[in-house]
Amino acid sequence: MTVRAVCFDLLSALLDSGAVWDAVAGELGAPGLGRRWRRTYLALTSEEGGYRPYLDVVADAAGAVGLPPRASGLLEERWDRLEPWPDVRLALERLALPLAVVTNCAAVLGRRAAARVGVTFDVVVTAEEAGAYKPDPAPYRLACERLGQAPAGVAYVAGSPFDARGALAQGFQVTWVNRLHDAEPPELAAARVTPSLEGWRP
């Protein structure tokens, strides 16, 4: 199937957001809780469905792992410290196709995060705009609508197993960038799996 556009998860596949969560947890005196906090947040958004304020979900995840309520606001303050993974810019710059990102966060934060990648995206879709969190179909469908493409013609690069599952269900050509070397669920057998974007082609 011909690829006519490429869509990326933003906060896991393209940005090393876990490093910022780690740093915030460290500022709060719990340096070992950052990744656990982020994984809990990912699990919560995967079950959330309809959108509710992103920072409220982040705060719920913080509370679940023992971080104080102000963790969410501190993460927002540190948002512009997000950095792309080392392989990202070169991988995106060599793609002569329309580029999109779909991200599970608020509209303002999504645009700030997209700007941190250092590459111009044709489409930026946030959970807030779509009215739902991935893996709900709404964010994926909004991305396709804005790209003017059917899912079958779009290569989707997921950053988590939750996202890969949602993208497969919508009919995208899915690659999961498994940067954290998580176990590969059997339901993702139809997805390509790679540890990074180095040398990756849609």
- In sequence order, what DSSP letters do the residues of the chain get, joined into one string? ----EEEEESTTTTB-HHHHHHHHHHHTT-GGGHHHHHHHHHHHHHHH-B---HHHHHHHHHHHHT--TTHHHHHHHTGGG--B-TTHHHHHHT--S-EEEEESS-HHHHHHHHHHHSS--SEEEEHHHHTB-TTSHHHHHHHHHHHT--GGGEEEEESSHHHHHHHHHHT-EEEEE-TT-----GGGTTSEEESSSTT---
Dist. CA 57–CA 71, nearest whole Å: 11
Q: What distance in Å separates the CA atoms of residue 154 and residue 81, rounded to the nearest whole number?
A: 30
- 109 contact partners, CB below 8 Å, separation of at least 6: 54, 76, 79, 126
Q: Taking 90 as the threshold, does the pLDDT of residue 117 lie above it?
A: yes
CATH class of segment(s) 5-16+82-194: alpha beta
- 45-100 pLDDT tens trace: 989 879 999 999 999 999 999 999 899 999 999 999 999 999 999 999 999 999 99
Question: Residue 135 above 90 pLDDT?
Answer: yes
Q: How many CB atoms lie within 10 A of CB 143?
A: 26
Share of the chain above pLDDT 70, in %: 100
The answer to whether the Cα torsion of 105, 111, 117, 123 is positive or negative is: positive
Domain locations in the chain as residue ranges? 5-16+82-194, 17-80
Query: Which pLDDT band holds residue 1 (cuts at 50, 70, 90)?
Result: confident
Mean pLDDT, rounded, of the chain: 96
Task: Using alpha carbons, list the distances in angstroms from residue 181 to 33, 37, 159.
Answer: 19, 18, 11
pTM attached to this predicted model: 0.94
As a whole-number percent, the residues of the chain with pLDDT over 90 amount to 95
Predicted pLDDT of residue 49: 79
Question: In this predicted model, what pLDDT tens digit does every residue of 7-38 receive, in sequence order?
Answer: 999 999 999 999 999 999 999 999 889 999 99
Residue 76 CA to residue 70 CA, distance in Å, equals 10
Q: Read off the pLDDT of residues 141-193 as tens digits, 9 standing for 90 and up.
A: 999 999 999 999 999 999 999 999 999 999 999 999 999 899 999 999 999 99
C-alpha 133/C-alpha 56 separation (Å) is 13
